[in-house]
Homo-oligomer: A and B are copies of this chain.
């Protein structure tokens, strides 16, 4: 089997598993989001602020991926919600099997929201469906405005772009307008939010986005079971 054939086989197997996960989420009315960005764009800090703002009774869980270390799970566990680290070893992305395996001892009927934080990588995670309702790509103001053009696949496949670290805009040569324009060149219908996890600016919009999407996931579940 050639390299391309093997890649196709791996992606096909992943797709089948991802559809099974998607169906399970749909049955339980769970919103699953897949957070993707370069290393250091602020996925984990945004998740910390998100969990901090959640109602303590919120039915939310987090799977967080990294090549090595349990650091992120430790950072996220302190908010009292179920969190698991997926250590991929050398693998540059999460796949549906890793997600399925790490979900095994959670009851899906206890969840409304599952957040998957992917490995820090703007390339490879875009090829692996995890059964999520939406991919969300983070871009920070300390990166270049042309990232959507250089990494089009992930910006095309993500429903939402979150522009992070806007508190640093005065100190960096970064045009938010240009970054948004580039994102919309790749993906005209993309939703875009801007925020700073450090100052809290824009976090309300993000929490509302999540709530609205959770509401839609619940509606879809009703429709399916009706």
Interface residues of A (CB under 8 A from B): 1-3, 6, 9-10, 38-41, 44, 66-69, 71, 90, 92, 119-124, 127, 140, 142-144, 146-147, 149-153, 165, 167-168, 171-173, 198
The reply to whether B168 and A123 form a contact with Cβ atoms under 8 Å apart is: no
Q: Which of B6, B142, B153 contacts A140 (CB 8 A)?
A: B142
| Residue of B with least CB distance to A164 | B142
| Residue of B with least CB distance to A41 | B40
The reply to whether A40 and B143 form a contact with Cβ atoms under 8 Å apart is: yes
Given contacts A38-B40, A39-B147, 6 further A-B contacts (CB under 8 A): A38-B39, A67-B152, A71-B146, A90-B123, A92-B121, A142-B165
What is the CA–CA distance of A68 and B154 in the complex, to the nearest angstrom?
Answer: 12
What is the CA–CA distance of A15 and B41 in the complex, to the nearest angstrom?
Answer: 32
Which of A38, A147, A173, A198 is the most central at the interface, judged by chain B CB atoms within 10 Å of its CB?
A38
What is the CA–CA distance of A9 and B2 in the complex, to the nearest angstrom?
Answer: 10
Q: Which of B69, B144, B152, B153 contacts A40 (CB 8 A)?
A: B144
Given contacts A1-B6, A3-B10, A92-B123, contact A66 B142 (CB under 8 A): no
Q: Which of B68, B123, B142, B146 contacts A150 (CB 8 A)?
A: B68
State how many angstroms separate the Cβ of A5 from the closest Cβ of chain B.
9
The reply to whether B69 and A150 form a contact with Cβ atoms under 8 Å apart is: yes
What is the CA–CA distance of A11 and B140 in the complex, to the nearest angstrom?
Answer: 33
State how many angstroms separate the Cβ of A86 from the closest Cβ of chain B.
12
The reply to whether B39 and A143 form a contact with Cβ atoms under 8 Å apart is: yes
**A-B complex: 5 closest residue pairs judged by Cβ atoms:** A40-B143, A92-B123, A142-B142, A38-B39, A6-B6
